[in-house]
Amino acid sequence: MLFLPVMSTQREAGLDTAEAARGRGAFVVAGGPDPSALPQKWLKYADAVCVGEGEVGVERFVGALLDGREPIEAAQIAGFATGVSQPEVHRTDIRRVPPLALRFGVCGAIELTRSCPNACAFCQTPKLFGPPRHRPLESVLEACRQMFAHNMRDLRFIAPNALGYPYWRQLLEALQPLRRKGARVFFGSFPSEVRPESLTPDNLKILKQCCDNRRLVVGVQSGSDATLKRLRRGHTAAQAEAAIRHALEAGFAVEADFIFGFPEEVEPEEELERSLLFAERLVELGAKIHAHWFLPLPGTDMSGMRPCRPSERLERRLERLLGRAGSGNWRRQRQLADKLPLFPTHPSHSAG
């Protein structure tokens, strides 16, 4: 039995793993962003696909196995997509799901918010998870206390916007006794960036007093207001610049998240040039650029689009900028971008 979660950037390795496992007689259940968006294509490589969140379906699947059902029948009971059944999408009540599994040694960043209230055109998150849900404050605090008791002193959190968690102020205040005992609190840095409109001077003051990170990741994505509007980002370039100025003045280092290579119909070349100029200005202020390349992720509103190919002039300018003040996996993403719309029609050999 193999449960195989796969991001779209991991598709090639995921397909190879699924094919190899089935070749050895394993029953393979694929899940995660890529199989959820493309269940029928993944069913050529896996026996079943869990679409969307997995907690409810996996619990039903295991329960059916324990009742003596065959795996394919258990998959149908669980609501997985199979060759003969359509997927049933479950929405998890995250109040019932603990954020850690300490008895199995599984712990890391603590989930604050599942899904995202914003519906950015390029993003899989709201498509995969549906309406956003916030973990109760006491559940988060108990997880922090458990980690500290097991000598895990660095506390990190997962949220699409750390300052969008409705109890973030109460959370940071309640964590101060653990900090005084040696815990370190990281908030607003990976894996929980902050949106520009939430990064006010007052909020920055709280972060400075209550957190240990001195670096913030701010989601900007483009410096063109026209592009931001097409992406449904919900903020302007001016708001992003103001937020970054405030953060730098408060003593934080800032990484500004940008996506380059948006399709021409979303970001024409003149808008890309405007975005580059904006990124250069942020670097002059003291920010760093955390760069991504546009990926047409399946299941998103931009899944069928192709990344742009900048002119040689803008290409050189982009290389110079990211060479001196950039980070991120944008080069690898650029190589992957053209492959992503392509999906192997058949496994390389018969599985099962």
Determine what percent of the chain is predicted with pLDDT higher than 70: 98
pLDDT of 350: 47
Residue 349's pLDDT band, with cuts at 50, 70 and 90, is low
User: Average of pLDDT values for 178-184?
Assistant: 98
- Chain centre to alpha carbon of residue 189: 13
User: Average of pLDDT values for 318-340?
Assistant: 90
Taking the C-alpha atoms of residue 166 and residue 171, their distance in angstroms, rounded to an integer, is 10
Q: What is the mean pLDDT of the chain?
A: 94
Residue 190's pLDDT band, with cuts at 50, 70 and 90, is confident
Closest by CA position to 192, among listed 164, 167, 212: 164
Other CB atoms closer than 10 Å to residue 58's CB: what's the count? 17
The helix or strand, by DSSP H or E, that contains position 289, with its residue range, turns out to be strand 288-293
pLDDT of 347: 72
Is 351 a residue whose pLDDT tops 70?
A: no
> What is the residue extent of each domain of the chain?
2-78, 102-337
Task: Please name the residues in contact with 133: beta carbons below 8 A apart, sequence gap of 6 or more.
Answer: 92, 93, 94, 113, 114, 115
Query: What is 2-78's CATH topology?
Result: Rossmann fold (3.40.50)
pLDDT of 348: 65
Taking the C-alpha atoms of residue 341 and residue 86, their distance in angstroms, rounded to an integer, is 23
Taking the C-alpha atoms of residue 267 and residue 229, their distance in angstroms, rounded to an integer, is 10
Cβ-count burial 312-336 (b if 16+ within 10 Å, e if not): eebeebbeebbeebbebebeebbeb
pLDDT of 166: 98
pLDDT of 352: 43
CATH for 102-337 (3.20.20.70, 2.30.42.10, 3.40.50.800, 3.40.120.10): 3.20.20.70
| Tens-digit pLDDT profile for residues 302-325 | 998 999 988 999 999 999 998 888
Task: Please name the residues in contact with 148: beta carbons below 8 A apart, sequence gap of 6 or more.
Answer: 155, 178, 181, 183
Tell me how far CA of residue 138 lies from CA of 135, 167, 184, 210, 222, in angstroms.
9, 10, 19, 18, 37
pLDDT of 72: 96
Sign for the pseudo-dihedral over CA of 34, 135, 257, 176: negative
User: Average of pLDDT values for 39-64?
Assistant: 96
| Tens-digit pLDDT profile for residues 250-273 | 999 999 999 999 999 899 999 999
User: Average of pLDDT values for 169-189?
Assistant: 98
Among 90-104, 285-299, 332-346, whose mean pLDDT is lowest?
A: 332-346
User: Average of pLDDT values for 148-163?
Assistant: 96
- Tell me the two tokens of residue 249: 């003045």
User: Average of pLDDT values for 284-293?
Assistant: 96
